Amino acid sequence: MSARSLRIRLLVTIAVVLVAVIASIGIYSSVAAKRQFDRFLLARNDEAAKLLQTRGLEAAPEAYARYGVRTIVVGTDGAVTSYPATDLAVTRHPDGITLTRGRERLVLRAHLRLPNGASVYVVPATLPGRRAFGGGLDRWLLIGLGVVTVGALVLLTLLLRRIFAPVEALTTSVRALAGGKLDARVAVRGDDEIGELARSFNAMAEALERNERARRHMVSDIAHELRTPLTNIRMQLEAAQDGVVAVDAALLASLTEDAEALARLVDDLQQLALAEAGALRLELEECNVRDLVTRAVAPHPVEVDVDETLIMRVDRARITQVVRILVNNALTHARSRVRITASAGEVLVSDDGEGVPAGHEERIFDRFHRADASRSRITGGSGLGLAIARELVALHGGTLRLENDPGRGATFIFTIPS
């Protein structure tokens, strides 16, 4: 694993912060514990001193037994008497005495003056062990903090591994997807941000795979649409060259029909590409909807039920094309009737045919999609009409949708915002 890995950098950063926090806690705990211990010793010392002041030197054994302190009496002649006996070095000075053992030192002032002038000092019995106490405290704190640090680092490593495992899986899948493996997916675990990221990746991969399939189908469909008229043209030309058929008006008319089919297909593809790219310019104007629809459907036998006062701000030529596409599609599938109705900002084109077969509703607006391929071939449709209509409506900021009633007909509704 690279030292520049996010996991390594995050682990090092958190570890440094963790060690700094634990070290700060340890130092503070050590200092606070030692200060508290000193306060404890001084409190016991004061209580022993009060006992001695109340009852005199005869209370020295009880002071030692109850509070763990020893009593040192320094006479006016400098003689030192200790209860119990002590091996501490005693040094007199004007402010009191200094007790010394090795590096340990303690300066005391007299707690009690005897009638004969002697001074009584109360010494904590734990004085010789204070350094040992401090050293032991520090040692155990270091051991405890070390154990806590190691445990925290182990838990942190496991946590980061758990967190970064799905990220690494996602990275692997992204590389696979970039390499052309469009079926790459990531296992989704949990509902957190990483789980949401995995779901988003899977949705993106599915969209790419779906678009790639659509692209391949489109290329295949375009080739298929071009092949039929081109094959007809080639065969008729070869027949004319071989003298099998005469070059007469009928042959020329057939060739012209196939050429026009090719030209329509190319025009439709170009218009669809421009519409999807948003490169078509709209010339918006206030249009009477009834007049627009009437002109679009003429001379087809279509029922028009549109208010004569209904106005819509649209590109007249584009919306006329949309209506024609929808009407032609409805006439192709209708049994006996095609009807157009409209209200504010909405136009409906309905027929009484079989409706769109189940399973085709979602793809009806796809390029080259045919719910009935054989019937579309007879009518000469390219399968681009509904896709073009949807894009032209979208250019106006509107939507085109299907309300399907299998067995009873279909209604295409496009809405243009005012």
DSSP annotation string for 190-238: SSSHHHHHHHHHHHHHHHHHHHHHHHHHHHHHHHHHHHHHHHHHHHHHH
pLDDT(159) > 80: no
Interval 45-78: pLDDT, tens:
778 778 877 777 788 888 888 877 788 888 888 8
Average pLDDT over residues 128-135: 55
Length of the chain: 418
Confidence band of 377 (pLDDT split at 50, 70, 90): very low
Outline where 56-125 has alpha helix (H). 60-67
Confidence band of 382 (pLDDT split at 50, 70, 90): low
205 and 252 Cβ atoms separated by less than 8 Å: no
288 beta partners: 311
Closest Cα partner for 186 from 178, 1, 197? 197
- Euclidean distance between CA atoms 414 and 326, whole angstroms: 10
DSSP annotation string for 226-240: HHHHHHHHHHHHHHH
**Exposure string for 281-302, b = 16+ CB within 10 A, e = fewer:** eeeeeebbbbebbeebbeeeeb
Mean per-residue pLDDT over the chain, rounded = 81
pLDDT(39) > 80: no
Closest Cα partner for 80 from 99, 94, 64? 99
Position with higher pLDDT, 347 vs 260? 347
Closest Cα partner for 154 from 14, 26, 5? 14
Average pLDDT over residues 78-94: 81
How many Cα atoms occupy the beta-carbon half-sphere of 361 within 13 Å?
13
- DSSP code for 412: E
Average pLDDT over residues 371-396: 70
| Burial degree of 386 (CB within 10 A; 0-12, 13-18, 19+) | buried
State which of 44-48, 152-156, 306-310 shows the largest mean pLDDT: 306-310
pLDDT(20) > 90: no
DSSP annotation string for 257-298: HHHHHHHHHHHHHHHHHHHHTT-PPP-EEEEEHHHHHHHHHT
- Euclidean distance between CA atoms 319 and 300, whole angstroms: 17
Confidence band of 2 (pLDDT split at 50, 70, 90): very low
pLDDT(326) > 70: yes
- Euclidean distance between CA atoms 239 and 234, whole angstroms: 8
Average pLDDT over residues 285-291: 94
74 and 80 Cβ atoms separated by less than 8 Å: yes
269 and 384 Cβ atoms separated by less than 8 Å: yes
Helix (H, G, I), strand (E, B) or coil at 394: helix
Interval 346-376: pLDDT, tens:
999 999 998 888 777 777 887 776 655 544 4
Closest Cα partner for 88 from 136, 51, 121, 47? 121
